[in-house]
């Protein structure tokens, strides 16, 4: 969960109990921190620029144009277009447990610069250019996006003469990573619903169907009817991770699910998810989850 700095609490003025706003402005972006200390409903909010909203603490119910209402929780973000009216409910906010959310208003020029960078590195596999992400895109922050947002909160609130430069570079990386997360989400969905529609979706389905097999770039590139180098470059460009990293991610999802079952041993879990070595599995699991498989299993079974 993203954490507000001590400096924020020392410098902000709590003037309103519903959506109290603290603003930090730089040349190409504006960071808003909203805090709500009372239950409220149908609170309206609008920005003149595209916005990334990310929950820090508590819960909101978001009502956006042309989409069903959804719960907005810590660790989640949503991309909003300029001038979109948000209608927000705060069902659980209290003075002891305030709802906190950041809203990063972005320059459309800087958004397009990040998109242009991706296109300069290569088009999508279907020959189409990258474009600004779909608005009202609701997603869970991965570790990279989480770290960028945490860094941005620090940069906006520090007293440094070059913080405009720092924020521009961080926002550029943030936009690119969100575009790749969105692209990955699309391929994961297509791998389930229409895997024969494109090469990447087909390969993702093949990985999932053969997760315990010896999967490598040479084999997967053959399945995609691409050279190994082109397949590797395309996969990483569009999903933001290498094929090998994606395979590990998929295997860890399966292992994590199996470890929650008290009837499944750790050995059964790692073998069923495609890991052949317990020491390697344990090392990767702890690196990605910050907890060992045995600790995770005890914790999960205790909470069940």
pLDDT of residue 33: 96
Looking at residue 16, what is its pLDDT?
84
Q: Which of 38, 31, 41, 92 is nearest to 62 (CA)?
A: 41
pLDDT in tens, the chain (304 residues): 677 777 676 677 777 889 999 999 999 999 999 999 999 999 999 999 999 999 999 999 999 988 899 999 999 999 999 999 999 999 999 999 999 999 999 999 999 999 999 999 988 888 889 988 778 899 999 999 999 999 999 999 999 999 999 999 999 999 999 999 999 999 999 999 999 989 999 999 999 999 999 999 999 999 999 999 999 999 999 999 999 999 999 999 999 999 999 999 999 999 999 999 999 999 999 998 899 999 999 988 776 5
The b/e string for 10-39 (b: 16+ C-beta within 10 A; e otherwise) is eebeeeeebbbebebebebbbbbbbbbbee
So where are the chain's domains? 6-109+136-175, 194-304
Report pLDDT for 9.
Answer: 67
CATH topology of domain 6-109+136-175: Jelly Rolls (2.60.120)
β-bridge pairing 86-90 and 60-63: antiparallel
**Closest by CA position to 130, among listed 86, 182, 57:** 182
**Residues linked to residue 45 through DSSP beta bridges, in sequence order:** 86
Q: Which residues contact 301 (CB under 8 A, 6 or more apart)?
A: 260, 262
* CA–CA distance, 67 with 77 (Å, rounded to integer): 15
Residues 6+ apart with CB under 8 A from 173: 148
What is the domain class of 194-304 according to CATH?
A: mainly alpha
Euclidean distance between the first and the last CA atom of the chain, given in angstroms as a whole number: 23
Q: List C-alpha distances in Å: 157 to 10, 151, 239.
A: 11, 10, 32
* Best CA proximity match to 8, nearest among 26, 33, 28: 33
């Amino acid at each position: 969960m993203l954490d507000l700095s001590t400096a924020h609490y020392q410098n902000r003025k709590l003037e309103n109990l519903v959506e109290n706003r603290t603003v930090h402005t730089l040349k190409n972006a504006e960071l808003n921190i909203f805090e709500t200390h009372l239950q409220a409903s149908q609170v309206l909010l609008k920005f003149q620029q595209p916005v990334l909203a990310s929950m820090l603490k508590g819960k909101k119910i978001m009502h956006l144009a042309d989409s069903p209402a959804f719960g907005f929780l810590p660790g989640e973000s949503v991309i909003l277009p300029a001038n979109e009216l948000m209608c927000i409910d705060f069902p659980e906010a209290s003075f002891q447990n305030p709802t906190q959310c950041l809203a990063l208003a972005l320059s459309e020029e800087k958004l397009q610069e990040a998109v242009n960078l991706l296109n300069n590195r290569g088009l999508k596999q279907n020959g189409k250019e990258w474009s600004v992400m779909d608005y009202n895109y609701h997603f869970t922050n991965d570790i990279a996006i989480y770290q960028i947002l945490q860094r941005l909160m620090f940069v906006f609130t520090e007293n440094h003469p070059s913080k405009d430069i720092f924020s521009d570079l961080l926002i550029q990386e943030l936009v690119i990573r969100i575009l790749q997360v969105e692209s990955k989400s699309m391929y994961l969905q297509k791998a389930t619903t229409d895997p024969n529609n494109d090469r990447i979706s087909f390969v993702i389905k093949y990985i999932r169907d053969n997760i315990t097999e010896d999967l490598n770039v040479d084999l997967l590139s053959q399945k995609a009817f691409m050279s190994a180098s082109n397949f590797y470059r395309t996969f990483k460009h569009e999903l933001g991770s290498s094929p090998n990293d994606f395979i590990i991610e998929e295997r860890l999802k399966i292992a994590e699910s199996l470890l929650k079952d008290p009837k499944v041993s750790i050995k059964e879990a790692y073998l069923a998810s495609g890991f052949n070595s317990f020491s390697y599995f344990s090392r990767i699991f702890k690196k990605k989850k910050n907890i060992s498989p045995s600790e995770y299993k005890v914790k999960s079974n205790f909470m069940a």
